[in-house]
Every structure is written in C-alpha cells, then in structure tokens.
Amino acid sequence: MADLAHRYERGFPKIGIRPIIDRRKLVKAATQEMTMELALEAARLLSANLRYPDGTPVACVVNDVCISGLKEAADCADKFAKENVGVLLTVASGWCYPLETMETDSRLPHAVWGFNGTERPGAVYMGALHAAHNQKGLPVFKIYGRHIQDIGERTIPADAADKLLRFARAGLAAAMLRGKSYLSIGSVSMGIAGCIVDDDFYQRYLGMKNAYVDMTEVSRRIERGIYDEEEFVRALAWVKEKCIEGTDPNPEALIIPEAQKAQNWETVVKMALIVRDLMIGNPRLAERGFEEEAYGYNAIASGFQGQREWTDHLPSADFLEAVLNSSFDWNGTREPYIVATENDNLNAVTMLFQHYLTNTAQIFADVRAYWSPEAVERVTGHRLEGRAADGVLHLINSGPAALDGTGEMTRDGLPAMKPHWEISEEEVERCLAATSWRPTYMDQFAGGGHSTDFLTRGGMPVTMARLNLVEGVGPVLQLAEGYTVDLPADVHAALDERTTPTWPTTWFAPNLVPGDPVFEDAYTVMAHWGSNHCVVSCGHIGEDLITLASILRIPVNMHNVDAKRLLRPSAWSAFGTKDPEGADYRACAAYGPLYK
C-alpha cells in the first residue's frame, strides 16, 4: 500500500470562534457563561456536520475567554494565527462594543451569529458589527434566527444552523485554496483559451501559486524509471483485473496490435503515478535517490495538455485523468486528485470549488449538444418526457470524467457520488463494472490509449458549473442545477452514435424557471454557457457555490437558485436589493479580489 499520508502533513485550516461580550462588570458576569455555551454549541454543530477532504471532522478553535475589548481581541487574533485558523465566526448573545471587538483581517471569511433574544439581543450587536465592517470595507456574513428565542435557550435554530453550515463550507473551501498551487503540465491544447493560465487571477482571487512543467518531464520519468516500481506492479495488476477493455472502434487497418496495446497500458499507468507524484510528491522516490523529484509541487489541482503534441506520439492521458479524478484506485478509496484534461485550468478551478464544497469526485465534460424534443423525435421516433421533456444537454468528453460519474454509488436507493469514506467496496466494483475502456479513435489520438465509456445513471440531482474569465469583468461563475436523466437504450444509442460513442455520457436536464431569460428552457441554458467545457457535481450545491463566489469576490452571471436560498455578505444589500445579480457584480467590483 502506498503511503500517501504526506498529502495532508501540512494540515487543514480551522474555524476560529470568537465569543463576544459587553465588558461592563455586571453585564459581563451575567452573559459570559451563556455566550461561551453558544460558542461551544456552534463548534459542536460545525464539527459534527463538516469534514475535511481526508474524512476527518472539521476542527474548531473557540477562544479561551470571551472577548470584551481590544486587548482580548488582539490576543484572540494571535492565538488563531498560531492555530492555523482560516475562517472566523463571531458569536454574541448581547450588546458589545463593535469597533473594539471586531477582527480586521480582510483575508479571512467572517460571519457573525447574533442570538435573537430580546433581553440582551445579540442581533443588535450583530447589526452594529456588520455596519462597522461595511463602513471599513470588510464584508461579513450576518446570521440570526428568524424567531425570537428565550434567554435560557442554548440551541441553534434550524435556519441559523443551515446558514452557519453553508458559510463554513464555503469559507473552508476558500481557505483550503490559499497557499496551494495549480500545476500546468504542458501548455495550451488545440487553441483552447481556458488553457491559458492567468497567474494574476490565481494570486489575487484564490491566493494560489502556479507551477509549470513541460510534458517531457513525464516522458523523462517514464524512460528513467522515476516512479515507485512496486506500486506500478500492483497498479498494473489492478488494471488488468478491473479495467474491462471494450470493442475497438477503429477500422481494421488502423487497429493497434495487441502487443502495442499492452505496452500502452503500462505507459498510461506510469503516467498516472507520475502526474500524482508531480502534484503531491512521493517520499518513496527519495528513498530511491530521486530527492528533487520526491518534493512535488504542492498542487491541489493540475492539468495535462495532451493534445496534440503528446497524443500524436504517445498514449492519451484519458486513463490518468479518469483514474486520478476518481475516488478510488489500486490503493483503495481515497480523495480524488483534481486533474483537468487539455490543461483547462478554469475547469480545474471549478472542479476544486465543487470538490471542496462536497468532498466528492467531479465530472469533467464537454457541453456537446442540446437535443430538443423535436430533434430527438425526428431522429429516433421517441418523444422525451418527464424531466427531459424540454430537451437534454449531452455532456461528454474523452475520459477525464471520474468513474464515480457512472452513478453506481447510491444514497437512499438513488444514484449518487459520495465522499470517499462513505464508498463501499461493492460500489467501487459496480463503478468499474459499468465502465468499458475503449481503444481511442486513431484519427484523433494517433498515439493510442484507452478512453472510458460509461453512461451516467439518471435521477441524480447535480449542479453544472463553470468559471470563465471575461475581459473588462474578470472572473465570473455560472451554474445550473438539474438532474441526470435516463433515455431508452435505443434512443441513447442513436444519439450517442452521432458523436463519439466511446466516451462517457451524462444526459442533463436543467431545472427550468418560468419567465427567466436563461432558464425558461434548456436551449437557452446552453446558449448562455460560456465555454465548451463544464463540471458536474452531485447534489444541488448552487447556493454553496454562490456563497463561495461572494467570498472570493467572483460575480455569478447565471444561476437557477431560488433567491431565498442565497447567502452573501450583508454588504451586498447596500449595492441594491431589487436586482441581486447586478448588486453582486457591483459589490465584487467595489471590493475587488480577496488577495489584493
């Protein structure tokens, strides 16, 4: 078994909880016990419901004492800096002095939860504190329950708990990006603009660095044996046992001899090991004398250019992308590695966002086609119905879709994609059994290799998203919640044959919103999509993505999330309340990137 513990040796950011009280002697004596109990209850809520990518509960640090003034606020800030706190939650049960108790580190996502009582209303302090933050240009999330509570209560109302969890998920996702890197292996693939790595965007909006490696580094390590040879033997045996090779789609004259196919399998397995090692390092390489290669690039995401300089000569990267993006391999279940095909780093960032919000694998896909009900009926004689009645989007790409995307995992009897610690061995086997590894079309991938061929099961709630860079605006995020759908087998085959049937397919039907200029029908969803690529995540997580985007100061230009589900910093309302989308753009422009 490969030792991958070094992947987490730097630890994860923690949530720092700041209990705040009035410093007047009698008031302080009357409220400090209640305030501390509320802070501890918030910590219990967050740790019980949120997990880090390795499956361990999220750690909360509650300040040792209640903060009543500048000295205690400064001491708390020092403590949190030493404890690797990346997200802040201020808790108040009554009035305090906002300017003396506030935290002013603009890099840390910050929310304030005010106890909504009438005797000593924490909601009043929360109101004054958020006003102070807004006046100083430090946006903060304002959270309090809808209903008045009694002074003796120590429970967190369900509506406040929901907002606390949503804020914390998004805040931790932002914090986990900070200080990490994106590894670009190669450069621009086939002239796709999403492959252009914008260092300024990574630094200013995400707090990340960039690393660059030519694809010849992968071939160098293959030729010189710079990988864990014991793991390679185990991985290749797993591939021979678990990866079912499908029918070769090429004409007989172009079919690669079996001996060459076997050699290609060995090459792509080595590619997977090497790209993983480039991302996170591998101490076992140091044991073999490759000290520099053992370091890795501290990368939480990477992209492999592949086409065409690599794929015209060597086997495609479909295997390494599909397997590394999945939640399992020859080492068992584990956190996915985010690897973007064609080095589309903007899709990689989207994958990161959705992975950190869900702890699940992601489906990387082309937004290939919109099939209208009329077109489907003309081609197949079948009339679409149910969720697919308005037409479907054909999401498909050569192989980077995680095998989790088969939908062969289940939750409550329905298809799902789950965090790796929830995945059973039986579910792993079902995903592998549902995947056929098809030899690549030689006219597209002259170097050979194998692509995954699977069909995502219908009925899974999903969110399709994409980050784009737009001149004059900067980064913008778009998303569409909806469902995967099943088509009759003969209908799927007829439609699939019109494109590349050896690739994984997800049929997607967005949730429609009557009267909405984008989401009134499925056609306009595709018409407004900003790129040829998208990312699909299991679950309706649009509200979490929108919260995360607001933390990073990235406006959302397209979504179908109900306005009542939106949670953004309270300052956003000062930029307009009748037009939330316009207010989002104005607020993000006014505050600018999180890391200026």
CB contact at 8 A, 67 and 73: yes
Alpha-carbon gap, residue 105 to 124, rounded angstroms: 23
CA distance 575 to 498: 48
Contact 346, 303 (CB under 8 A): no
Cβ–Cβ < 8 Å for 153, 119: no
> How far apart, in Å, do the first and last CA atoms of the chain sit?
43
Q: Which two tokens stand for residue 206?
A: 């995400």
- Distance between CA atoms of 54 and 196, rounded to whole angstroms? 30
CA distance 386 to 346: 33
Contact residues for 275 (Cβ-Cβ < 8 A; gap 6+): 185, 218, 302, 304, 320, 324, 337, 339
Q: Which of 342, 344, 544, 584 is catalytic?
A: 342
Burial class (CB in 10 A: 0-12, 13-18, 19+), 206: buried
- For the residues of 198-215, what is the DSSP string, one character each? -HHHIIIII--EEEEE-T
Q: In this structure, are strands 14-20 and 60-62 parallel, antiparallel, or unpaired? A: parallel
366 carries a ligand binding annotation: yes
**Cβ(69)–Cβ(23) under 8 Å?**
yes
**Type of residue found at 308:** R
Options 277, 318, 366, 481, the catalytic residue: 366
Tell how far CA 375 is from the center of its chain. 34
Query: By the 8 A CB rule, do 357 and 545 touch?
Result: yes
**Pick from 39, 64, 2, 53: nearest CA to 115:** 39
Q: Is 562 marked as binding a ligand? A: no
Residue indicated by tokens 């699909």: 536
Residue 533, annotated as binding a ligand: yes
Neighbours of 550 (CB within 10 A): 27
Active site residue 342: yes
Q: Which residues is 556 bridged to in the sheet?
A: 477
What is the SS3 assignment for 254? helix
Tokens describing residue 171: 């805040």
In three-state secondary structure terms, 565 is helix
Q: Is the dihedral of CA 340, 345, 347, 350 positive or negative?
A: positive
31 Cβ contact list (under 8 Å, min separation 6): 21, 22, 93, 94, 120
329 a catalytic residue: no
Question: DSSP letters along 48-87, please?
Answer: HH-B-TTSPBPPEEE-SS-B-SHHHHHHHHHHHHHTTEEE
DSSP letters along 145-187, please?
A: -SS---TT--PPPHHHHHHHHHHHHHHHHHHHHTT-EEEEES-
Catalytic residues: 342, 366
The annotation places the binding site at 342, 366, 533
The annotation places the binding site for Mn(2+) at 342, 366, 533
